Structures are given as C-alpha cells and as structure tokens.
Amino acid sequence: MCGIAGFLSGVPLHSEGEGIAFVKRMSAAIQHRGPDDSGWWQDGVHPLFLGHRRLSIVDLSPAGHQPMHSSSGRYVIVFNGEIYNHLSLRERMESEGRAPDWRGHADTETLLAGFDAWGIQSTVEQAIGMFAFAVWDRQERVLTLCRDRLGEKPLYYGWQRQGRHHAFLFGSELKALRAHPAFEGTINRGALSLLLRYNYVPAPYSIYEGIAKLPPGCLLAMSPDSRETKLTQYWSGTQAAGQGVANPFTDSPEQAVDALENLLKDAVRRQMMADVPLGAFLSGGIDSTTIVALMQSQSSRPVKTFSIGFHEEEFNEAERAKAVARHLGTDHTELYVTADQAMRVIPSLPALYDEPFSDSSQIPTYLVAQLARRHVTVSLSGDAGDELFCGYNRYQVTATLWNKIAAGPLALRKLAASGLTSVSPQTWNSLARSVSGLIPRSMRFANVGDKLHKGAEVLGSDSVDALYLKLASHWHDPAAVVLGGSEPPALLTRDAHTVAGLDSVQRMMLLDMLTYLPDDILVKVDRAAMAVSLETRVPYLDHRVVEFAWSLPQSVKLRDGQTKWVLRQVLQRHVPEALVSQPKMGFGVPIGAWLRGPLRAWAESLLDESRLRREGFFDPAPIRQMWNEHLAGKPRQFYLWDVLMFQSWLEHQSGSRDIPAEELLSASVA
C-alpha cells in the first residue's frame, strides 16, 4: 500500500529542479500512506513528474522501490495497492516466453512486465487486486491512470490553473494536489449539496471545482500533445450484475455454499500474502467472523484480531468478538474506549478524510485501525458482505413498503402526501398529545408529526428507486440549504444503470455496490487506516467473489426472512450459530447525545449564524432550526453532522497543518 502523486505541467517550468520540488512537496503531503521509502522521476522530454511514497508490504528490498521502470524501459509507474495473483501472472508470462529477468518479487514489477507482454488494459483485466496507479508510456507518450474494479483505492485528478502555473494534477489524496502551486481550491457547491444528501461526495465529483475522482473500474488516458482525456471502463459492476442474473447458478443451495466457501477461501488465502505482520478486524458479526474463520483455517499460527469496545452497552460489540476469537483461537486484542477518547478523534477528522465526509462511524473505524497498527501492518476486513449477500434490513423494509404503497394510484398518493405536509409537524404533535388519552399506550409514538412528514415523502414516490433515494437521503433538498448550490446528477438520481431481471431488492443492492460501498464504506476505511500507515484488504471484493455473488439466486441470499443465508451457512461450518446470531448493532457512536453535551460548544461555534453568513456557503435559517430542534430533544444529528463536518473541514483548510502519521498514531488513545 502506498501513496502516489504527480503532474504534467501545461506551461514551461523554470528548471527541472522546480518540477522535482513540486512533486516532492506533493508526495510529502501523503507521507502517511507510505512512510518507508520515497521516490521521484521526471521524463527527459516532457514536463511529466511522478512521485511515490512506499509502505513496504511485499518485497521489502530496494527491488520494490518506485517509481519503477519496466524491463524494456517503455513504462514507468507509481502504484498503490496489491495484485494478489501476481505470481500466477508471472507463471503465465514464463510459459509464454515473455517473462523478463526478474529483479525481485514485487507485484509492481509483475504489473509492468504484463504491460510489456500484453498491454495495459489486458494486464489489468487479468489482475486480481486493489489498486490505483499512474503509468507513463514513453514510447506512445501517453499517461494512463487506473483504479481497481470496486474502488478500494482512491485516485483524484484534474487540470488546475493559478498564476503562471497550469498543470494536470493527480494523486491518492487531495492533500497531494493541494501541495502543487497550480491548485486553485475553488469549492464545488454542487458537490457540497451532494454531501448534505448522502454524507459523502460521490464519484466522479470532488469537493473542488475541476478535480474529479476516477470512477472504479476505469482507465483514463491522456497525451500531453492533445491534453484530451479518454475514459475507458474495463470492468462494470452493472454488467457483472446483469451477467450474473442472466446466467444464474443452477445447482443446489448446498452446492452454492460449497462453491462460495471455496472461492472465499482462495480470496482470503491470496490476501494473506505479505512480508510483514498481518491481522484482521473482528466485530463478531457474520461478515468479519467469516473472514477471520477462513484466515485461521489456513494459518499455522493464531491470526491476530482486533476489536474496539465501548462502555455504552448499545454500541458495544466487543464481548461478542471476544467470544468468537476464543472459539477460533485467534490472538485477540481489544480496547475499550471512553467517550472522551473517541471525541478526541474529532479534531483530526478534516486531516484524515481530506474532503468533507460525515459518516460518524469514521470515529470507531479510525480507532480500530489505530489499535491494529500497533501490532500489524496489514489488516483484512469484512466490508461488502451486506451489499453482496443482501444483509441490510433496509432492503426488505423498502421493498415491503414499496409493494404496499405502489398498489395505490400515484395521483391519489400525492394528494394524500400534500394533505399531510400542509400541516406542520408541530401541529401534528400537538394534535397527537391532545388525543393521547384515547389511544392505547402501545400505539402512542413520539414526534408523530415528523413521522407523518417522512411518510408523506414516501407516499409521493413514483418508483422504488425514488423511494430508496428518499430513505437514503439526509437533507432532502440540499440545494435549498447550500447558497448557490445546484445538485448535479448522481447514480441515485438518474436512471443510468437499469439491468433487466433485477427485482427491487437486487436493484437496491446494485445501487449500494456502485455508490454507498465505494464512496462511503471504502473511503472511510482507506483514509482511517492509511492515516496510521495500515494497509487494509477486503476479500469480499475479489471481483470473482462479486461476480459469483451476483450469479446466486436471491433465494439463497434472502431465505425465509433470513438475510445472508448462504454466507451464514459457510460460517456455521466454522463457528456455532449461537455466537453470531445476535442482532447487528452497527459501528456507531452516540453523536446525538454528544452534540447536546460535551460537543455542544464546539458545534455552536461552527454553526454560529453570523459565521455561516460570513462564510457564505449555507443559508443559516434551516441549519439553526435543525440545531434548535436537536437541542430540544428531536434527533437531528445526521443532518447536523453533515454540516459540522464541512464546517470543520473548511476551518482546517484556512490554515491548519496536516497531521503527520506518527502524531495520529500516538493521539486519541493512550
């Protein structure tokens, strides 16, 4: 795992030394992604500069140093990630007589040899792994950027102009781009609107104008002669879903369990490849426990596992994880974190996440990554099990709700919705209180008005996608909150990925795999882990597992009301069902209570009305209303955390320094 950075200058530089100084500065900004080694390279003809920070995982020798040249000298690469089948690719090249004289056993060298043998796209299509890289073809004078199929590794890029500088910038994090003098830093108000809706900025957008995220499964090629970019999709999650549904697995459910176990075991075995200490996150839930069980079944010594515990019972999964670890015989480490320790992470969040990001589970994710890094350099995780095997309860809830309301005429439903919203939530609440004595206690609900308004939004939906968007949204009209903001189209707001044969649940699973997974879950894990120089790997995102999962009938994923049935069957071969049958708690912290208590002064400062007006990004009125309602006891923390994370990030951009990895490693948890 590493960090990459670079640029192509659009104007003549004063000297070669000036360009090297720029790329060194860009690389230094992401030192936390690669504290073990660094390197820079400039093309002798074109003003192209490549920078690299290395976290040594495979081949710790100087043979793994980057930027790395192919044996032919044609290609020069900076690479972030792992190619898990690189030894198999070497064997194929050797059998075809195309292998070079290997200098070492780094997977980066294998990738370059594949480019010489088969070309860039063909090599990437054969690779199993997670990666983001930039490679310069010295013969064709083409720069190619690439990102892995599911979006595990990040890559930003874009043309920027400031003063006499004009350059095409790229890097693993926005920190690297900000370090170049051409960087403009104009905030994209449309992206800010998207943040308020989703709690993340979805690809291809970034928080900055002119800077994009390379979408998963894509190659972007550019020649400095034309400066035009060409985007090619070499793998599509939509096509994988469509092909899986069109060519379903037709053997018995028991054979599906066998096939999945064998495939997952192979994915886990490949991802245990490392020349440094390796472990796994363990929550005690189905997804992470399955990964750890398959790791332990293929390991000659106890696997190192890590869990974070909380003293608040409703947030604590550590006891379950400890029981699982004891059963599997892992070398388990747990750390109980106080609210004060967890809250001490909050000032670091703008530096950690680099662009506004407001999934509050970012806090425990960082804490468990920090804990693991004290013992290992690589950690496997159980992310993506829910998206692939129908694990989220919201899938069933949304589908059931849609089936019930869709039977009514849309015009009548919209009329009913209009009637409900014509009365304010406060008036509904007053009416409910006035008749509460006439209603059985079991049928009394708090905040009736809010629930009726939420229900009205549901009634007015004209499709399951529209319903799902409303249930997945935080602010439902974010452009009305962001001054000058107009919400650009995103996958959840445009019908661009229709697949024949998907039912409503499968449709939601696909949308999550294409949006929530890469733009929320994987961002959260990558930034938290790389902040402390920890590599994370996700076996469920081996693309062979993804494609197989889509071929499985829904009846083996959702069976008799039980989610993830086929995955549960794999797990029960290794762990008793009783150990993992408890309901999922999620991975959260009590943000709502903190905002009313110890974080109140911090939040009040960031949400100050005069400050909001002065900065000019938000209309203060709806935000202050949300804040006052939250202080009055209504749960508004999700709306507020979106705004607070932007405000905190904005404050950080005004002059705070980025926090070095060694400080982050020692901070927060003593």
Is a pLDDT exceeding 90 seen at residue 658?
no
Is a pLDDT exceeding 70 seen at residue 497?
no
What pTM does this model have? 0.91
Nearest to 640 by CA among 574, 598, 594, 583: 594
Distance CA 476, CA 214 (A): 27
Distance CA 581, CA 225 (A): 60
Q: Does residue 361 contact residue 589 with C-beta atoms inside 8 Å?
A: yes
| In the chain, ranges of CATH 3.60.20.10 domains | 2-235
Location of structure tokens 């507020």: 640
User: Can you tell me whether residue 411 is helix, strand or coil?
Assistant: helix
Is a pLDDT exceeding 90 seen at residue 366?
yes
Mean pLDDT for 206-235 is 94
Per-residue pLDDT at 311: 79
Mean pLDDT for 296-325 is 89
Is a pLDDT exceeding 60 seen at residue 666?
no
Given the residues 2, 146, 218, 390, select the one marked as catalytic: 2
Confidence of residue 161 (pLDDT cuts 50, 70, 90): confident
Mean pLDDT for 406-414 is 75
Which CATH number, 3.40.50.2300, 1.20.210.10, 3.40.50.620, 3.30.420.40, labels domain 240-393+517-670? 3.40.50.620
Mean pLDDT for 177-188 is 95
390 is catalytic: no
Residue numbering of the annotated binding site:
107, 308, 381-382
Residue numbering of the annotated binding site for L-glutamine:
107
Q: Does residue 365 contact residue 544 with C-beta atoms inside 8 Å?
A: no
Distance CA 385, CA 393 (A): 13
Per-residue pLDDT at 563: 92
Distance CA 186, CA 204 (A): 16
Per-residue pLDDT at 657: 45
What's the angle, vertex CA 278, arms to CA 321 and CA 327, rounded to 5?
Answer: 30
User: Can you tell me whether residue 536 is helix, strand or coil?
Assistant: strand
Specify the range with the lowest mean pLDDT, choosing from 199-213, 336-350, 442-456. 442-456
Mean pLDDT for 548-563 is 94
The CA distances from residue 466 to 244, 481, 590, in Å, are: 25, 21, 29
492 DSSP assignment: G
How many Cβ atoms from other residues are within 10 Å of residue 522's Cβ?
A: 25
Specify the range with the lowest mean pLDDT, choosing from 25-39, 86-100, 361-375, 492-506. 492-506
Is a pLDDT exceeding 60 seen at residue 665?
no
Residue 84 CB burial class (10 angstroms; 0-12, 13-18, ≥19): buried
Confidence of residue 128 (pLDDT cuts 50, 70, 90): very high
Location of structure tokens 């960031």: 606
How is the chain split among helix, strand and coil, in percent rounded to 5?
50, 15, 35
Residue numbering of the annotated binding site for ATP:
308, 381-382
The answer as to CATH 3.40.920.10 being correct for domain 2-235 is: no
Strands 2-9 and 165-171 come out as antiparallel
Q: Report CA 491 to chain centroid distance, whole Å.
A: 16
Q: How many residues does the chain have?
A: 670
How many Cβ atoms from other residues are within 10 Å of residue 240's Cβ?
A: 23
Q: Amino acid identity of 575?
A: V
| In the chain, ranges of CATH 3.40.50.620 domains | 240-393+517-670
Mean pLDDT for 586-607 is 90
* CA Rg value for the chain: 25
Is a pLDDT exceeding 50 seen at residue 662?
no
Q: Amino acid identity of 219?
A: L
Per-residue pLDDT at 350: 95
521: which residues sit within 8 A by CB, 6+ positions away? Answer: 383, 384
Q: Report CA 546 to chain centroid distance, whole Å.
A: 16
Distance CA 229, CA 428 (A): 55
How many Cβ atoms from other residues are within 10 Å of residue 527's Cβ?
A: 24
Q: Report CA 261 to chain centroid distance, whole Å.
A: 25
